[in-house]
């Protein structure tokens, strides 16, 4: 099938590259000529495991351009996957979506095109995109559209760092559409994923337990709400275990054992019960805020989702409180933060807990040094005022420090030769912000181990 993808961020690029790998002809459009140039020469502008390999395997069926006219006319499916960042009032900024929908509406021609919204949008945006497409079509063609296109919603559940895995082996595919023809087109587009009949890439084998992938087909509004509800639930699940962690710390219980003990109940499930400094990233904060705002439009508060956000902020503050408790005074103390990206295997710094924690420590007068195995370059660009605190080596982070904090669970930190560094520190305090380090081992080496829950 012929596919066009507007936007080459995480979602758009993963979608485009994966669909080309699966045998479709894909044109990816992005307004940024530098991105397009870099992708044409096989260099993904984002750090995502396996992306370059898949890009190389799919290159014959994949084109990158800045021009919608090269991709939209004659496409069976156009995905709109542009960014929808949060505005200060919690609403998403839909400017890029409007502009993409306008360009698509002008270029759509020939046959029947399903325009799929993959950006996370407020509930009801399907109708809004449809109106923009119609207006743009009419201004270009001088007549109203007569069934040339139809809008569908196909929310994305991919995790950064596992984006390609999640696209090829999803838990489910959700399609929202009020038009049976669109449903049929998208069913055909995704058939090889739904039935798992494609040859897996050598570097990403199919999980043994995976059978056919369920498809959830709904109306537009339900599909849009599924995305928000899923993210709000996951964010709440993490905040829930973090809240339990606080109580565990008070009563002397081990929150990791508690998480295991409840997670084995099939109704709860073991995933997303890892306690720590909490969630960050481009989705959970933005989507929970947008969901609360949408509910507010109908005069409904969302106390559970709001509380999940509050608890998440508390977790970031807990790092500072724990250090204050241990070191008493933070002024002048040298504190190293291990990990800047909001989670391992990505260089994404959006809503990263480390940035918040660093700023809070600095406000307390601490001398903060920062390290990340991958996100350093991006950090320099995006947080220029904090950039001088960035260290290239771990020796610099540990040297003469009063504490180091594990903020992001990069495997490099878990596998670190901790013994080598203990002697460099002025005070050998390690605050494990992810419950990921081996306490006994570190204590035998001479570290003073603190967990974020205070136990």
Pairing of β 403-406 and β 429-432: parallel
DSSP state of 205: P
Q: Tokens 């979608």 correspond to what residue?
A: 15
Query: Which long-range CB contacts under 8 A does 246-255 form with residues at least 24 apart?
Result: 246/318, 246/453, 246/454, 248/453, 248/455, 249/451, 249/453, 249/454, 249/455, 250/454, 252/455, 253/455, 254/455, 255/435, 255/453, 255/455
Nearer to ligand UDX, 233 or 395 (CB): 233
Q: Report helix, strand and coil shares of the chain as percent, to nearest 5.
A: 45, 15, 40
Choose the catalytic residue: 4, 107, 283, 391: 283
Min dist. Cβ of residue 166 to ligand UDX (A): 7
CB 76 within 8 A of CB 189: yes
27 three-class SS? strand
Phi first, then psi: what are they for 65, rounded to 5°?
-155, 165
CB 135 within 8 A of CB 116: no
Min dist. Cβ of residue 427 to ligand UDX (A): 27
Catalytic (active site) residue 283: yes
DSSP H or E segment with residue 153? strand 149-153
Nearer to ligand UDX, 61 or 435 (CB): 435
Residues annotated within a binding site for substrate:
157-160, 227, 272-276, 280, 343
Q: Pinpoint the alpha helices (H) of 4-124.
A: 10-21, 33-40, 51-58, 95-107
Nearer to ligand UDX, 237 or 334 (CB): 237
Min dist. Cβ of residue 286 to ligand UDX (A): 9
Nearer to ligand UDX, 260 or 420 (CB): 260
Angle at which helices 51-58 and 10-21 cross, to 10°: 40
Distance CA 350, CA 359 (A): 15
Min dist. Cβ of residue 332 to ligand UDX (A): 30
Distance CA 442, CA 439 (A): 5
Residues annotated within a binding site:
30, 35, 84, 120, 157-160, 227, 272-276, 280, 286, 343, 350
Residues annotated within a binding site for NAD(+):
30, 35, 84, 120, 160, 286, 350
Nearer to ligand UDX, 105 or 276 (CB): 276
- Extract the tokens encoding 427: 């005070």
Close Cβ partners of 328 (under 8 Å, ≥ 6 residues apart): none
Nearer to ligand UDX, 133 or 174 (CB): 174
Close Cβ partners of 112 (under 8 Å, ≥ 6 residues apart): 76, 147, 148, 149, 150, 181, 185
Min dist. Cβ of residue 253 to ligand UDX (A): 18
Name the residues that contact ligand UDX, by CB under 6 A.
Answer: 156-160, 231, 234, 238, 272-274, 276, 278-281, 283-284, 342-343
Give catalytic residue positions: 283
């Amino acid at each position: 099938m012929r596919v066009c993808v507007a936007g080459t961020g995480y979602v758009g690029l993963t979608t485009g590259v994966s669909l080309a790998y699966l045998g479709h002809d894909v044109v990816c459009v992005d307004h940024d000529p530098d991105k397009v140039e870099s992708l044409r020469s096989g260099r993904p502008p984002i750090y995502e495991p396996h992306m370059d390999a898949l890009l190389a395997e799919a290159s014959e069926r994949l084109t990158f351009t800045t021009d919608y006219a090269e991709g939209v006319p004659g496409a069976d499916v156009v995905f709109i996957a542009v960014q929808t960042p949060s505005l200060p009032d919690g609403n998403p900024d839909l400017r890029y979506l409007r502009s993409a929908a306008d360009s698509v509406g002008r270029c759509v021609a020939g046959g029947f095109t399903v325009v799929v919204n993959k950006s996370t949008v407020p509930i009801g945006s399907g109708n809004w995109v449809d109106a923009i497409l119609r207006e743009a079509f009419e201004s270009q063609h001088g007549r109203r559209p007569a069934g040339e296109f139809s809008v569908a919603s196909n929310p994305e559940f991919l995790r950064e760092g596992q984006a390609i895995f999640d696209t090829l082996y999803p838990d489910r595919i959700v399609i929202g559409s009020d038009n049976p023809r669109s449903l049929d087109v998208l069913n055909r587009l995704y058939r090889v994923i739904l039935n798992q009949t494609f040859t897996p890439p050598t570097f990403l084998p199919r999980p043994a337990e995976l059978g056919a992938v369920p498809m959830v087909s709904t109306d537009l509004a339900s599909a849009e709400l599924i995305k928000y509800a899923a993210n709000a639930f996951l964010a709440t699940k993490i905040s829930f275990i973090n809240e339990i962690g606080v109580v565990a710390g008070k009563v002397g219980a081990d929150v990791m054992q508690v998480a295991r003990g409840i997670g084995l109940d099939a109704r709860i499930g073991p995933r997303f019960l890892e306690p720590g400094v909490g969630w960050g990233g481009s989705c959970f904060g933005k989507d929970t805020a947008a969901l609360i705002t949408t509910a507010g439009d109908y005069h409904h508060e969302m106390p559970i989702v709001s509380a999940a956000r509050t608890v998440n902020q508390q977790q970031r503050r807990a790092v500072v409180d724990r250090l204050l408790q241990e070191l008493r005074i933070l002024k002048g103390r040298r504190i190293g933060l291990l990990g800047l990206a909001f989670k391992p295997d990505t260089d994404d710094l959006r809503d990263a807990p480390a940035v918040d924690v660093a700023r809070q420590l600095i406000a307390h007068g601490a001398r903060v040094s920062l390290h990340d195995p991958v996100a350093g370059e991006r950090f320099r660009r995006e947080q220029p005022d904090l950039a001088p605190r960035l260290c290239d080596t771990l020796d610099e982070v540990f040297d003469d420090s009063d504490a180091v904090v594990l903020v992001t669970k990069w495997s490099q930190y878990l596998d670190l030769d901790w013994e080598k560094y203990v002697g460099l520190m002025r005070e050998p305090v390690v605050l494990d912000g992810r419950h990921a380090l081996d306490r006994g081992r570190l204590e035998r080496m001479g570290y003073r181990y603190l967990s974020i829950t205070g136990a």
